[in-house]
């Protein structure tokens, strides 16, 4: 399949590292003009430079903006221009016993993992609908379907994101704009390495720690390893392309078979 996003502008939130960076690089490789986003100008600029080094002739703009605020979201969209592809990748996670999660922490997870995406969709969806083409992709998690006992606030926020995706897909019905979720499984990123070492012996070498984590905490994974960020990016690039024109309102799984269900 030939995926060509030449002439399209793609915004990826939380794209200075990990899954977000892999998605931004993948979209740039498909020819899109990519807007890299993070809160720090230094990290955003560094990510943009790295993409330019790894993808010859890539068109990359870095915008430092905190999209969990209205001002930050507006600044990102204003600097990006007409947005054809929006990837809401920004998210936070962490292990906390269920009965110790207070109201403030619940609100913080919903502000970052749900409302930031909603805010950006509201800003860009009308323009996409008017132009008759657009892609909105919300990066969810297997935790949206299999709520993890060690971080139910994270899981529930990602469940809400699935509903957000379906609802906005209905709002864009018949316009040529698609809205989907991508259910990412346990993925190998720097943040996940820290999380793994919160749950297993910190003295273990990484390969052993990863296997121990999957054995104890994610035993239902059919892949039996952590997913690499590029594997998530491959699905996102496809869904962002014209080839996925008949896929909308869905929750597409890149979970390594973690969710024990034919459908989410």
Beta bridge partners of 33: 9, 59
| pLDDT in the model for residue 202 | 93
Question: Domains, the chain, ranges and CATH?
Answer: 9-187+230-254 (3.40.50.720), 188-226 (no CATH)
Q: Please list the ranges in the chain whose pLDDT falls under 50.
A: none
How far apart are alpha carbons 171 and 58 in whole angstroms?
33
| pLDDT in the model for residue 237 | 98
Q: Decide if 154 is catalytic.
A: yes
Question: H helices within 55-140, ranges in order?
Answer: 70-80, 103-110, 116-131
Q: Which of 109, 154, 197, 238 is catalytic?
A: 154
Its pTM stands at: 0.94
| pLDDT in the model for residue 111 | 98
| pLDDT in the model for residue 191 | 80
Concatenating the DSSP letter of every residue in 32-67 gives: -EEEEEES-HHHHHHHHHHHHHHSTT-EEEEEE--T
| pLDDT in the model for residue 264 | 73
């Amino acid at each position: 399949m030939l995926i060509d996003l030449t002439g399209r502008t793609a915004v990826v939130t939380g794209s200075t590292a990990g899954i977000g960076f892999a998605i931004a690089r993948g979209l740039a490789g498909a020819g899109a003009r990519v807007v890299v986003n993070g809160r720090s100008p230094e990290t955003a600029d560094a990510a943009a430079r790295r993409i330019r080094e790894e993808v010859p002739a890539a068109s990359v703009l870095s915008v430092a903006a905190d999209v969990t605020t209205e001002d930050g979201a507006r600044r990102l969209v204003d600097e990006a221009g007409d947005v054809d592809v929006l990837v809401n990748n920004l998210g936070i996670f962490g292990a906390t016993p269920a009965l110790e999660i207070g109201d403030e922490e619940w609100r913080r997870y919903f502000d970052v993992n749900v409302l930031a995406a909603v805010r950006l969709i509201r800003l860009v969806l009308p323009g996409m609908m008017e132009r008759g083409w657009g892609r909105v992709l919300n990066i969810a998690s297997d935790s949206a379907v299999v709520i993890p006992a060690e971080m139910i606030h994270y899981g529930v926020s990602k469940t809400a994101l699935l509903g957000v995706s379906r609802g906005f897909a209905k709002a864009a019905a018949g316009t040529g704009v698609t809205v989907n979720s991508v259910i990412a499984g346990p993925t190998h990123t720097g943040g996940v390495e820290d999380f793994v070492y919160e749950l297993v012996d910190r003295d273990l070498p990484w390969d052993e720690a990863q296997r121990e984590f999957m054995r104890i905490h994610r035993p239902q994974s059919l892949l039996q390893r952590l997913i690499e960020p590029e594997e998530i990016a491959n699905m996102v690039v496809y869904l962002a392309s014209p080839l996925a024109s008949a896929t909308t309102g869905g929750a597409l799984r890149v979970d390594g078979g973690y969710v024990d269900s034919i459908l989410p």
